[in-house]
Chain A
Amino acid sequence: MTTTEELILQILEGLPVQVKRNRRIFISVPRNDLIKTVNILSNELNIQHLSTITARDTGSELEILYHFLLNGVVITIRTTCPKEDPTIDTIVDIFPGAVLYERELNDILGIVPKGHPDLKRLILPDDWVGGYPLRKDWKPPQESEE
């Protein structure tokens, strides 16, 4: 374990942390604790790099993973939101680099980042009416007659 990892685990003591292997740390939190946890990473560990945000449809709910990077250690915050209320707090105020990743979540899974300054389509066409492609129950829209 590197000194960075030791430091990280020290700071995160008390939180539900899982060390998958060297340089891979996961923290699972309920969505109400997302901002608090992100702030710990930012303020106490001085993390600035957000690699990306992954999200997936687990079937019963939507899981969102925030991947941060500090000296080669990937720290992932795992949280979930229900499909009936697919919202999450934006982290753009703490990590401006999240601005495009949150737009992508919205496009492909319908997860709405509350408070995002500029939520518009990122990768799907503006006239897309086909729903959220990365949802498990998604079906391709009917092809219109050309």
Chain B
Amino acid sequence: MEKVKLPIGPQHPALKEPENFTITLDGERVIDVDIRIGYTHRGIEKLMESRTYTQNLYLVERICGICSYAHVVNFTQNVEEVLGIQIPKRAEYIRTLFLELERLHSHFLWLGVAGHEIGFDTLFMYTWQDREIVQDLLEMISGNRVNYAMNTIGGVRRDLSEEHRKKVLEGMDYLEKRAGYYKEVAINEKTILARAENVGILKPKDALKLSAVGPTVRASGITVDIRRDDPYASYIETPFEVITTDTCDVLGRVVVRVLEIFESIKIIRYLMEHLPSGEIVVKVSRKVQDGESISHTEAPRGEDFHYLRSNGTEKPERYKVRTPTLANLPAVVEMLKGTYLADVPIIVAAIDPCMGCMDRVLLLKHGKEKPGEIIDGDRLRKYGIKWYAERGWKS
């Protein structure tokens, strides 16, 4: 069959500029994928070199609006390590609380987005409704729903009251019930099974070879989780399981995230029931001596890796951030090979890509002679839903 090249780019159909993905099709099957990103490249690493460590707290948070806290924990941990200070235990617990609340909001968000991709908009409405409980808790303690400004170098900036602690526990009871419902849906709902089972296969050896991270690899049976392997904040104390499945498909990635919700709830309950008293911050100097440090966290999407090189001033010499989505892009290419075009939206969505980088418009290239036809992500999503509907699966 005639080979067709599909460029997938950002925003609008009529544009010929560089695209996110160029997909080579043979009929309806994907043969190859080429990646081009950069649409949200702002130049943050360079900007960090001209701002103080305190100013950078607010910038680092905004690398991504969904895993923002994972980034700021890495940043403060890096600086604290070079300074050689230990933050108070209560501060560690509060940081861990926020890390897990962020995982909850992110996983609920993702379930909704995944539902939307396969035409299951009710799931989107329900999960985002439930997610609002997490947003309320985040706002109650930090003052903001997104970008919480909770950390400072040396600890956290706001404390938890007894009232807050109780409300967090109540929230967990509610969310646990809701997660139970989603677990049933994920395993039994025909729409999800049709679109997710055996779709987007990533074999364990490929997952490892391509250095992929997060739920994406845990769904291929790889037991890796930075919280357990290289514990930070309070994770050395909180009991939790590293969730894996071995189906290696999109369904596996759904199941891992749903089960991780239960683990996060478990961790949060432990934190709230064992919250130590004491200070929440230690004083630190503005200038950070010469040194370097590496910090990585298990963000909702996977390993988030930060490197700091300091030079004795108030500003970093060099700061490097590698977000989990970037680490998973080579694996996405691998997963897309051999699949149907109709499966592209859900496979890409299943790595839980940071939406900004993956704002999807697809450019479909039909061989060398014909000009590319660009279609937007929304149309491809509808194409996928229709394709499956024609084969008997209705949402």
A interface residues (Cβ-Cβ under 8 A, vs B): 21, 23-24, 48-52, 54, 56, 65, 67, 69, 71-74, 76, 95-101, 108, 118, 120-126, 133-134
Identity of the chain B residue whose Cβ is nearest the Cβ of A54 in the assembled complex: B320
B167 interface contact, C-beta 8 A: no
Instruction: Given A52-B322, A72-B226, A121-B38, verify A126-B45 contact (CB < 8 Å).
Output: no
Residues of A within 8 A of B36 (CB): 120-122
Are B211 and A97 touching (Cβ within 8 A)?
yes
**Cβ contact within 8 Å between B317 and A56:** yes
Contact B18 A67 (CB under 8 A): no
The 10 tightest CB contacts between A and B, nearest first, are A97-B211, A72-B229, A52-B322, A72-B230, A56-B318, A54-B320, A123-B38, A123-B41, A48-B208, A51-B305
Contact across chains for A23 and B230 when beta carbons are under 8 A apart: yes
> Cβ of A100: which chain B residues have Cβ within 8 Å of it?
35, 326, 329-330
B307 within 8 A of A: yes
* Complex: A126 Cα to B70 Cα, angstroms: 31
Which B40-89 residues have C-beta < 8 A from chain A? 41, 43, 45-46, 81
Say yes or no: is B117 at the interface (Cβ < 8 Å to chain A). no
- Check A50 against B211 for contact (C-beta < 8 Å): yes
Task: Determine if B160 is an interface residue (Cβ-Cβ < 8 Å).
Answer: no
Are A51 and B322 touching (Cβ within 8 A)? yes
Tell whether B296 is near chain A: CB-to-CB under 8 Å.
Answer: yes
B245 to chain A minimum Cβ distance, whole angstroms, is 20
Q: Is B210 an interface residue (CB 8 A)?
A: yes
Name the B residues within 8 Å of A122 (CB-CB).
36-38
Say yes or no: is B212 at the interface (Cβ < 8 Å to chain A). Answer: yes
A64–B38 Cα gap in the complex (Å)? Answer: 22
CA–CA, A23 and B229, complex, Å: 10
User: Contact: B230 with A51, CB < 8 Å?
Assistant: no
Tell me the smallest distance from the CB of A117 to a CB of chain B, in Å: 12
B281 proximal to A (CB < 8 A): no
Q: Mark B70-114, 1 if CB is under 8 A from A, else 0.
A: 000000000001000000000000000000000000000000000
Shortest C-beta distance, B157 to chain A (Å), equals 27
Which residues from chain A contact B208 at a C-beta distance below 8 Å?
A: 48-49
A34 to B43, CA, bound (A): 29
| Interchain Cβ contacts under 8 Å between A and B, 18 examples | A48-B208, A51-B211, A51-B305, A54-B307, A67-B307, A69-B303, A72-B230, A72-B231, A73-B230, A74-B230, A74-B296, A96-B330, A97-B211, A98-B211, A99-B330, A101-B322, A123-B37, A123-B38
Q: B209 at the A/B interface (Cβ < 8 Å)?
A: yes
Q: Which residues of A contact B41 (CB under 8 A)?
A: 123-124
Q: Apart from A74-B294, A97-B209, A97-B211, what 19 extra A-B contacts exist at CB < 8 Å?
A: A48-B208, A49-B208, A51-B305, A56-B309, A56-B317, A65-B307, A67-B294, A69-B303, A72-B230, A73-B230, A96-B210, A97-B327, A98-B211, A99-B330, A100-B326, A100-B329, A122-B38, A125-B18, A133-B46
- Find out whether the CB atom of A52 lies under 8 angstroms from the CB atom of B327: yes
A120 to B37 alpha-carbon distance, docked (Å): 11
Question: CA separation between A135 and B37, bound complex, in Å?
Answer: 21
B327 CB contacts on chain A under 8 angstroms: 51-52, 97
Task: Tell me which of B18, B210, B294 has the highest count of chain A C-beta atoms within 10 A of its own C-beta.
Answer: B294
